[in-house]
Amino acid sequence: MKRILNCTLVTIALLASCRGDDDASDRITPPIPSIPTPYALEIPIHFNRINTPIIPLNNPLTVEGIELGKKLFFEKMLSKDNSISCGSCHNPANAFNDKGKVKSAGVNGTQSIRNAMPLFNLAWGSVTSGRFNWHGSATSLEEQAFGPVRDPLEMHESWVNVELKLQLTSEYPPLFEKAFGTNSIDSNLVVRAIAQFERTLISGDSKYDRYFLETEEGIDVPGDYSLSPAEKRGFNIFMEEGTGDCFHCHGTPFQILWSNNEFVNNGLDANPDSGLAWVTKNPLDVGKFKTPSVRNLAFTAPYMHDGRFARLDDVVEFYNSGVNENSPNIDGRQKPRNLSVQQKADLIAFLHTLNDSTFVTNPAFRP
């Protein structure tokens, strides 16, 4: 960010000095290239408890880049028949999940093989496993954004066509000019803009976040965000190795993201989907999927990579009694938990303290 600022200053200085030397008023002045405005992520103070996101050097955040990225995120021209956008399956009101759909529909109603992932706190993917998608096929947000456009089960469009369609509009070329200094639209710039927008999708204002700010950061948050007895008991179950033992994968209060973003086989099936092994070709990765955050669960049903569980109760019961211990590469923590009805209810009560309604209603994330 500092570098861009310095560049900006140098450029301005050069322009200023040139101007003084040039008295010929009839000479045609070359257009002053527009310089995008550097943008600093608005990171909640308690997110400083974890490592700072790494922004790719070739894709610094800018106001214009983010604005363009948002427009492209909701742009239906990215699909073959101009019928769906990224936002069609990643709805801001559902923490960017697909409005309760088990598997999302692509163009012509074709069904995807996976449940659409919710999108938030993705900027920190760079400081955790560094892999995106349920099966970890992309190693950056930019790379991730290339996939759905050309996937026959999703948008089923060629990038050449996307570039052409956008280029032929009157509105997009100037926006690319503003964001990237060129009006020549290229797929690399499209995914960079989308990735910039995605990095701004920060969710950190749940009840638990406010409770954490008060209790751990010593910040006085107006209102009462103390945990109820049930929520406290649920938290203890989450954090106890002997009962829920959720925290080894889904994070701790200080981990903030509430997922370590690692890839694990949680024992859904005796013959699981290849998962991460599809990417790594390592048999030890068969059945491993990205550990999702337990933030915003009220908005992101159904659950699991294939959306098989409609309700949070189903998920908790699966971990409690439904794990298939014969699944290959199953994580050793997956075994019957013998939680009581009360314990399960308490655990769910705690999980709901991580719902962030500010995030799902934020107008900055709407088209």
- What residues line the site for another protein (CB under 8 A)? 48-52, 124, 127-128, 216, 236, 239-242, 245, 247-249, 251-257, 260, 284, 332-333, 335
With respect to another protein, which residue has the nearer C-beta, 6 or 48? 48
Residues 41 and 58: their CA atoms lie apart, in Å, by 17
User: Which DSSP string do the residues of 347-366 spell out, in sequence order?
Assistant: HHHHHGGG--HHHHT-GGG-
Closest approach, Cβ 250 to another protein, in A, equals 8
Residues 61 and 72: their CA atoms lie apart, in Å, by 16
Angle at 168 between CA 165 and CA 174, to 5 degrees: 110
Half-sphere exposure of 99 (CA within 13 A, CB side): 8
Closest approach, Cβ 141 to another protein, in A, equals 18
Q: Which two tokens stand for residue 5?
A: 């600022």
Sign of the CA dihedral running 86, 73, 93, 291: positive
With respect to another protein, which residue has the nearer C-beta, 190 or 249? 249
Residues 232 and 346: their CA atoms lie apart, in Å, by 8
Residues 98 and 1: their CA atoms lie apart, in Å, by 34
Residues 228 and 317: their CA atoms lie apart, in Å, by 23
- What ranges in 168-206 are assigned the alpha helix state H? 172-180, 187-199
| Element containing residue 263 per DSSP (H, E) | strand 263-264
Residues 48 and 31: their CA atoms lie apart, in Å, by 42
Closest approach, Cβ 8 to another protein, in A, equals 30
Closest approach, Cβ 279 to another protein, in A, equals 16
